[in-house]
Amino acid sequence: MFDRITDDIRFAKANDPAATSTLAILLTYPGLHAVWWYRLANACHHRGFGRLAAVLSYVGRFLTGVEIHPGATVGDRLFIDHGMGTVIGETAEIGDEVVMYHGVTLGGKSSEQVKRHPTIEDGVMIGADATLIGDITIGEGATIGAGAVVTDDVPPETTVVGNPARPIEEMEAERSADAGAPEETEELHPDCAPEVEPRWQQVQS
């Protein structure tokens, strides 16, 4: 357990330039606290203590502003930066080294007891206030722009933005065609201003 907490702290430091103090992360990072509360609730959930799992999940939500259903599947080193308002549904599956920002929703669109929430593969980055709905798959290394609404699968290593979300390369190609001349594009961190270095790209576990 302590090894996983240490990994979480290292990954937070690698993704957040403000995360310079281990003590500060332990005491003041609600996104990590939410993940730790989830792990307790998830352990109870898998052992058949559903009511206790629900109570632990509720306490974690009250303290952090992040709601992760005890039945969700979360891999190693999930980092939820800022955290407030993030919701992860019951059948969501999240891989390793995923980074998401505040206000992200991994929601369902079925009232049946089926797989109804997104699958997020390893190394995905999800910008602030993005909404991902339904049993869709976000491929490894993909980037979801801030405020995007995603209802379809996203291929690996693809950046999507907008509502509905579309690959940024496709949108830039259309703009270039409309302008009658190609334009240069740069991959930007969806949660940063253009002049800010996309530090998340440098992260290696």
| 78 inside domain | yes
In this prediction, residue 201 has a pLDDT band, given cuts at 50, 70 and 90, of: low
In whole angstroms, give the CA distance from residue 66 to residue 80: 9
Q: How confident is the model at residue 175 (pLDDT cuts 50, 70, 90)?
A: confident
Q: Is the dihedral of CA 110, 113, 114, 117 positive or negative?
A: positive
Please report, for the domain that includes residue 149, its CATH number: 2.160.10.10
| Residue 54 in domain | yes
Residue 50 to residue 41: CA distance in whole angstroms: 9
Q: Domain containing 36: what range?
A: 2-187
**Contacting residues for 66 by C-beta, under 8 A, at least 6 apart:** 30, 31, 34, 60, 80, 83, 84, 85, 86, 87
The predicted structure's pLDDT at residue 202 = 53
At residue 73, the pLDDT reads 96
Does residue 178 surpass a pLDDT of 80?
no
Tell whether 81 is covered by a domain. Answer: yes
Q: Is the peptide bond between 30 and the residue preceding it cis, with omega within 30 degrees of 0? A: no
Give pLDDT tens digits for 7-66.
999 999 999 999 889 999 999 999 999 999 999 999 999 999 999 999 999 999 999 999
Given a cut of 80, whether residue 98 has pLDDT beyond it is yes
Both structure tokens of 91: 């059948």
DSSP, collapsed to helix, strand or coil, labels residue 151 as coil
How many beta carbons lie within 10 A of that of residue 174, not counting itself?
Answer: 11
User: Average pLDDT of the chain?
Assistant: 88
Please state the domain count of the chain: 1
Domain membership of residue 200 (yes or no) is no
Phi, psi of 35 (to 5 degrees): -65, -40
Which candidate in 82, 102, 117, 189 is catalytic? Answer: 102
Give how far Cα 53 sits from Cα of 35, 41, 56, 69, 198, Å.
Answer: 14, 4, 5, 9, 37
| Active-site annotation holds for 102 | yes
Cα 154 → chain centroid: 14
User: What pTM was computed for the model?
Assistant: 0.81
Q: What is the pLDDT of residues 145-155, one digit of tens each?
A: 999 999 999 99
Compute φ and ψ for 88, nearest 5 degrees.
-125, 120
For residue 205, name the pLDDT band (cuts at 50, 70, 90).
very low
Query: Which of residues 190 and 137 earns the better pLDDT score?
Result: 137
80 lies in a domain?
yes
- Tell whether 196 is covered by a domain: no
Residue 194 lies in a domain: no
The Cβ of residue 19 has, within 10 Å, a number of other Cβ atoms equal to 20
Instruction: Kindly state whether residue 197 falls inside one of the protein's structural domains.
Output: no
